[in-house]
Amino acid sequence: MKGAQPVETVKREFGSYLDKVIYMPVVTIDEEKSMKVVEDYMEQLHPVAFELCYRNASSPVPAKMERRLAGKSLIWYNTLWASLAGGHDDEAAKKEIFDELEKNYVSGITFSGGDPLHTQNRKDVGALIEEIKEKFPNKTIWIYSGYDWQEVKDLPCMKYVDVMVDGEFVDGLKDNKLLWRGSTNQKVIDVQKSLEIDKVVLAVK
């Protein structure tokens, strides 16, 4: 779950289950108040990661933010639109991903929505997953996908994935007590064990 609301709003609206889900604040760091927004989140919620958006590639703020969050929270730069990532294109974004994965305190990477396993994404995402696993064999790779396990388990990229959370989120099946998933129809799958015995093995029950 992610959003650009102030921390007070997030706590008020989602406070009852913030310890059960991962909430990623979205912060536009070109804005003067951005550092205060980050500080408020760090003091009150300690997010696992922030999505940082910025327009000016020469801005010193991204480096300042990286120093502030180093060893405390991860940073995701949204490179789907260059205007949100200082004009960086996919190659620059890829370099940033690999630079982050070089850091000892970064345990791995998660691929999530849209849908990384959408038919239009499979070739590029699959190639990236393979390259990451070959370069960083000890880093974990998670994938969130709306597809069911049976629909995608034979994709070539799956042999490089550690954990998959499968299935679309269904509001009528929502359960705030679940770990790493939002609704009871979804499964947190140990991909390598499941491939080995050709049967779903859950990483988290």
Domain boundary among 57, 88, 119: 88
Residue 44 pLDDT grade (very low, low, confident, very high; cuts 50, 70, 90): very high
For tokens 């929505």, name the residue: 113
The answer to whether residues 51 and 114 belong to one domain is no
Q: What is the pLDDT of residue 81?
A: 66
Q: What number is the average pLDDT over the span 37-42? A: 93
Residue 166 included in any domain: yes
User: How confident is the model over 142-175, as pLDDT tens digits?
Assistant: 999 999 999 999 999 999 999 999 999 888 999 8
Residue 80 sits in the same domain as residue 111? no
Residue 101 lies in a domain: no
| Residue 192 to residues 131, 145, 170, Cα–Cα distance (Å) | 17, 17, 26
Q: Is the full-model pTM beyond 0.75?
A: no
190 and 147 part of one domain: yes
75 and 118 assigned to the same domain = no
Mean pLDDT score across all residues of the chain: 89
- One-letter amino acid at 169 equals F
Pair 125, 59 in one domain: no
CA distance 172 to 164: 22
Residue 91: the pLDDT is 77
Q: In this structure, are 84 and 111 located in the same domain?
A: no
Q: Say whether pLDDT at 111 is over 70.
A: yes
Quote the radius of gyration of the chain (alpha carbons, Å): 18
Average pLDDT on 39-64 reads: 86
Query: Quick one: average pLDDT of 194-205?
Result: 94
83 and 121 both lie in a single domain: no
| Long-range Cβ contact pairs of 35-42 (< 8 A, separation 24 or more) | 35/61, 35/64, 35/65, 35/68, 37/6, 37/7, 38/65, 38/68, 38/69, 40/6, 40/7, 40/8, 41/7, 42/68, 42/69, 42/72, 42/73
Half-sphere exposure of 177 (CA within 13 A, CB side): 1
Backbone phi, psi, residue 15, to 5° = -55, -30
Residue 128, pLDDT score: 94
**pLDDT (mean) for 8-36:** 87
Burial bucket for residue 60 (CB in 10 Å: 0-12, 13-18, 19+): exposed
Question: Is residue 79 located within the same domain as residue 116?
Answer: no
Question: What local confidence, expressed as pLDDT, does residue 171 receive?
Answer: 86
Least Cα distance to 140 among 180, 173, 101 occurs for 101
Among 88, 117, 133, the domain boundary falls at 88
- Domain shared by 177 and 145, yes or no: yes
Handedness of CA 102, 104, 105, 106 (dihedral sign): positive
User: Which amino acid would we find at residue 13?
Assistant: E
According to the model, what pLDDT value does residue 88 have? 67
The parent domain of residue 40 ranges over 1-88
Residue 150: inside a domain, yes or no?
yes
